[in-house]
């Protein structure tokens, strides 16, 4: 029988393998950290853009509410209030379309849908309010108030969903 020579392990080869393995681990850690940073940046951009939309929505709503109060006190005539309402609804529609430009991280999709639904419902409320201004029919004012309450509830649910997603809680 022939004796098979076994090669002695090359110590340099072991060092090279260890170095390559170390480099692979460092590269993996860097890649994971980079992806986490990108996810955080995406989340931050989404939050900032959503906050801007909500701020614009709040400003438009507050401005319109002030005009409505002036109308109810007789300081604004009916035809001017109808024009203001049309302008307000157009601005609200523009705000509504801005939600569609957002690209939310997965945990925030539900909250974005609720914020959008809140704004849609508020627009429906404003349309009923316009009808009330046109006709004086108190049932349309009551429907407007009901829709506004629904809009508020959707917004509260959206805020809770957003906060849950932010803290990593389940809904």
> Does residue 21 sit within a domain?
no
Lookup: tokens for 117:
């639904």
Per-residue model confidence (pLDDT) at position 9 = 62
The answer to whether position 124 is within a domain reads: yes
The pLDDT of residue 45 is: 87
CA distance from start to end of the chain: 73
Q: Quick check: 169 pLDDT over 60? A: no
Q: What is the pLDDT of residue 170?
A: 45
Q: What is the pLDDT of residue 25?
A: 81
- Give the total number of structural domains in the chain: 1
Distance CA(81)–CA(70), nearest Å, equals 9
Which residues span the domain enclosing 64? 44-167
Residue 10 resides in a domain: no
Least confident of 21-25, 29-33, 132-136, 157-161: 29-33
pLDDT tens, residue by residue, 53-85: 999 999 999 999 999 999 999 999 999 999 999
pLDDT score of 131? 97
Residue pair 131/140 in contact (Cβ under 8 Å)? The answer is yes
For residue 3, being part of any structural domain is answered with: no
Q: Do the domain assignments include residue 155?
A: yes
Average pLDDT, the chain: 88
Q: Identify the CA nearest to 94 among candidates 123, 126, 127.
A: 123
pTM attached to this predicted model: 0.78
19 in a domain, yes or no?
Answer: no
**Higher-confidence position of 7 and 57:** 57
* Residue 89 within a domain: yes
Closest C-alpha among 58, 68, 83 to residue 145 = 68
The pLDDT-based confidence of 161 (bands split at 50, 70, 90) is very high
User: Residue 171: what pLDDT?
Assistant: 40
């Amino acid at each position: 029988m022939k004796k098979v020579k076994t090669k002695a392990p090359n110590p340099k080869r072991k060092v090279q393998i260890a170095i390559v393995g170390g480099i692979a681990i460092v590269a993996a850690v860097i890649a994971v950290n980079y992806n986490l940073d990108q996810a955080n940046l995406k989340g931050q951009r989404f939050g900032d853009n959503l906050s801007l939309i909500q701020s614009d929505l709040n400003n438009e709503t507050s401005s319109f509410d002030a005009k409505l109060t002036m109308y109810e006190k007789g300081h604004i005539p009916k035809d001017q209030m109808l024009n203001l309402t049309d302008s307000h609804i157009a601005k609200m529609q523009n705000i509504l379309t801005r939600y569609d430009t957002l690209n939310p991280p997965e945990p925030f999709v539900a909250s974005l849908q609720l914020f959008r639904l809140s704004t849609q419902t508020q627009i429906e409320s404003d349309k009923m309010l316009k009808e009330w201004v046109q006709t004086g029919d108190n049932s349309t004012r009551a429907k407007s108030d009901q829709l506004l309450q629904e809009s508020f509830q959707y917004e509260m649910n959206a805020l809770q969903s957003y906060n849950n997603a932010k803290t990593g809680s389940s809904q």
